[in-house]
Structure 1
């Protein structure tokens, strides 16, 4: 193949939005398009000439691909390891390149399903919380009620009943909340990241939080009308962060302040419990990064927020200020476009 036909196919390979690469018969990378470089995090010269195993995140699936393409094209799901070592997910196909009747190598085309997989994983965890963690509170409530019935004339009966009622209230609230967050995730796994107005999302979240917590003061500094990489879950994410900040507060009168700081190619949104004293100086907002990474025990709302923010290519950090008050920092990538 030569001339205009070769140029046409080379142009198609370079311009296609899906990550794609070409390997030779020894499965050494010989070419990769721009989408493939962006997906893996490598520069062109870093990846070309390397064995395909360098980007494989699942050697078992890699072996399956190698075995299959000896006879026919392969298609399915896979795990890919980026230059930074992160695992991303995708589906796609690997097909032989036949030129003049000879097998010269293989072309692999991928579809990024990382966001869908993360949302599905988060939904699975939240469902597990509903089944396990909330069941523990139900058991506490049930046991307390049974004890109350057995000791109906005892002076501690009212305390037992109050314990049961409080536990049932937590179960009900957390169950409703978790179901809502699961619905968000399951209905959004195929949502594409796009430019989203940060000020609109924060305004919506502040309104929702104000309605949920009567007597709690929510305040925000001026929010620039910039756009960030996100989707329609950005407002629910900020609502979850605001709610978590109130729920973690041990003050009689929590007051939550939101501030926004523009940085190069990103924006930092800080949510802090400042209490009745008012605004905390920016210089005092020092996160205790020791052990500050989020985990499933950080709370349903923050777990949901962390799962979504990660799908945007952003990051959440949690910690405490000098007075022990809760602080959450959300970093988002700024976006171009309308």
Structure 2
């Protein structure tokens, strides 16, 4: 930083006759004795607490500088009074592109304070803001120049512009509509995808209220999502019908999030997704699934009926046993079809987790079992009351699926199945265990949870998939193990509401 080296009375601008001449004896226009700064000018500049210079209005030679200016410019005050204002920087023009001399002259003629910025150095960056005004001191006109270092602000602006360029590049690349809203819920920025979706170009969307882009039936959902973002400072999602400029109605999904400044929500950002293709695809898949399932069920019922008639007519025990296998296979495939219907319903509903009494869910699951199946096994239930877990509404179906599988696949004359539950020591999780005395689950069945299935070794049914999807939809986990006797032990861990 600059040092104040006023060792004598001439160091701050009072020059001697010798100091006003060069080696040839010719007088320098910026250092003549007659141009020396009067004491009152130096006193005036010294009294200003911010970096300030006093310059000759004609030559722009510096005649006085206070200590803050010397510190800012990293020069002695005496050295500063031997230079001109133009010599402080490398550039000959202001940031706006105007010559320094003209900017100062315009300030002199303006009759007030004129401000301009000057990049004193590019490497490293150093930029000053100059506030220039003409003043009469000691019966003479002077230019009083206030200096402010704006380098940090300029550097921050450059970083921000760089970040904005990256953001704009991302927004142009992402195959989704991106936008930003003000605190009033009006659009302030958006990418080309949103403009294409609504059919407006240029600045036509500027200051448009986001809900106004949607039809009357669904715009309240958009407004509610925005209020949630601004009020709670958390993300929100909704689906609504976008109305394009041409009047086309487009199914649309919005995901919104807050823009915060400290603790205050000052705006919102969002992602919009045209659901037209997804809706058409889902509709076609639903039709295909219904048709296939209907034909699948009807044809298998025909197979089962004819096979059972054949069993009744044959006298060969071996042939009858083979026909029984046909019936068993057909019934298993019918159960797969039924499970696929339940999976389709689960995926369509997108259920949200809710507090669920675990004992009630187990009781409901046992009641779901076919009576004939329930009567051929010993099912022991030990689930304490008062355990509440966070789960989707299909939890009872998942438990019923596990007990059903345990009974059907048991190789004992009378399978034994236990359903137990307990709160884990962490007090934020609860465990439900379904264990049996059967032969265990084949590796191909376990692979549904590890992703280790191969094209030639898929799981034989949808049951474990269905259970896994229900459990994970509620934020829980699902694990397959073995009992001490070699049977299957399936553990479901579910969060308790206090642990969320």
Give the shorter-chain TM-score range.
Answer: 0.5 to 0.7
Secondary structure at the counterpart of residue 108 of structure 1: strand
Corresponding residue for residue 323 of structure 2: 164
Whole-Å Cα distance in 2 between the matches of residues 323 and 125 of structure 1? Answer: 44
CA distance, structure 1, for counterparts of residue 482 and residue 290 of structure 2: 29
Query: Could you tell me which residue of structure 1 aligns to residue 402 of structure 2?
Result: 241
Q: Does 1:332 align with 2:471?
A: no
Show the counterpart of 2:352.
Answer: 192
Cα distance between partner residues in 2 of 1:239 and 1:169: 20
Cα shift at 1:234: 0.9
Q: CA RMSD in A?
A: 5.2
Counterpart mapping for 1:1-338 below 5 A: 25-26=164-165, 28=167, 62-63=174-175, 65=177, 69-70=191-192, 72-73=194-195, 91-92=253-254, 107-109=269-271, 156=316, 159-172=318-331, 174-176=333-335, 178-179=337-338, 182-183=341-342, 185-186=344-345, 189-209=349-369, 211=371, 212-263=373-424, 264=426, 265-274=428-437, 292-294=446-448, 297=459, 299-336=461-498
Structure with bigger gyration radius: 2
Greater relative CO (CA pairs within 8 A, separation 6+): 1
- Where structure 1 has 5 or more consecutive residues not aligned to the other structure, the ranges are 1-23, 30-50, 54-58, 77-89, 98-104, 276-286
Deviations 1:235-256 (A, max 9, x none): 1110001111122222222111
**SS state of the match for residue 297, structure 1?**
coil
Aligned-residue offset at 1:137: 8.1
Aligned length: 243
Q: Deviations over 1:56-81 (max 9, x none)?
A: xxx98x34557x813645779xxxxx
**Distance of aligned partners of 1:250 and 1:314 in 2 relative to their CA distance in 1, 3 Å threshold:** same
Q: Distance in 2 between matches of 1:155 and 1:259?
A: 46
1:325 to partner: Cα distance = 0.7
How many angstroms apart in 1 are the aligned matches of 2:483 and 2:269?
52
- Specify whether residues 125 and 223 from structure 1 end up closer, same or farther in structure 2 by C-alpha distance, changes over 3 A only: farther
TM-score, scaled relative to structure 1: 0.53
Q: Helix, strand or coil: the match of 1:317? A: strand
CA distance in 2, matches of 1:244, 1:126: 24
Q: CA deviation at 1:309?
A: 1.1
TM-score w.r.t. structure 2 length? 0.38
Separation (CA, whole Å) in 2 of partners of 1:137 and 1:314: 36
Specify the alignment match of 2:249 in structure 1: none
3-state SS in 2 of match to 1:213: helix
